[in-house]
Amino acid sequence: MIKLSCTTIFLLTSLISFSPQKKNQNNTGLFVFHYLAKGKINDKFSEIKPPDTVYYNNDFGIESMLRTESKQNPQGEITNKIEQNGYNLIDISNKRFCKFSSLSELERSSKDKWLSIDQKKIGIKFDYPFYSNEKFIEKDTIIDNRSFRLIRYISNETRTKGAFITLYIEPGKSSPLPFYSIQPTFSGRLHQIFIVPPAQYEQLGETMLRFDYHDIPTNSPVLGILKGLKKENT
């Protein structure tokens, strides 16, 4: 059982941010964000919310949002049901988004109701200040026969003040959806972020953010929509 306390409060309601990157004609794929936590040092990390997924193609992304609905029966047993909770169309370069209830609405509706990315309340919040020019240490490391650059520092950001933050970045690879506060300083593809609260809160456990990158299946309807958006906006 995981205690959802200050550790999860650090990032659960205000997370991650994209940073615009130079256009890449082959910049198409699927980004999956996992949010995990554990209560004690010897515990295993467990996912505490459904993964967030962003399909991306060049300057546009479609974020598929999920929600968990919990129900309790008369015997006290709780069941969780994961449901679709709409989609966000993201204009990565211009830092704006539109909200849609379904893919069909996204496809057929006009794209003229853009909101600034900092107004995004549901799904991944793309303007979280993970890095604020703190002093850091770095070293090379190997995980599962893959080379990573490890970056470690103590956070100065108000919501994570004093937390130990570790970034794992894969060098030599681009980040199709980089983060505003990280990518300008640290090049490469972000793989994981570990957040350990300061000593006085160490009983609250750790948070891990994991980022997976995949190809979009060629028969995915989302891919067709994204390519259509590219044609409409060039």
* CA–CA separation, 106 and 87 (whole Å): 8
* CA–CA separation, 62 and 64 (whole Å): 6
DSSP reduced 3-state for 205: coil
Which pLDDT value is given to residue 126?
75
* CA–CA separation, 206 and 8 (whole Å): 8
Q: Where are the alpha helices (DSSP H) in the chain?
A: 6-9, 103-108, 221-232
* Per-residue confidence band for 92, with pLDDT thresholds at 50, 70 and 90: confident
* CA–CA separation, 126 and 173 (whole Å): 21
**Residue with the two structure tokens 């554990």:** 38
Which pLDDT value is given to residue 76?
66
Who has greater pLDDT, 105 or 175?
105
Find residue 84's DSSP bridge partners.
66
Q: How far is CA 119 from the centre of its chain?
A: 16
- For the chain, the domains span 6-232
Who has greater pLDDT, 127 or 222?
222
**pTM across the whole model:** 0.78
Residue 17, CA distances (Å) to 119, 128, 178 in order: 12, 6, 7
* Per-residue confidence band for 142, with pLDDT thresholds at 50, 70 and 90: very high
* CA–CA separation, 201 and 9 (whole Å): 13
Is residue 233 scored above 70 in pLDDT?
A: no
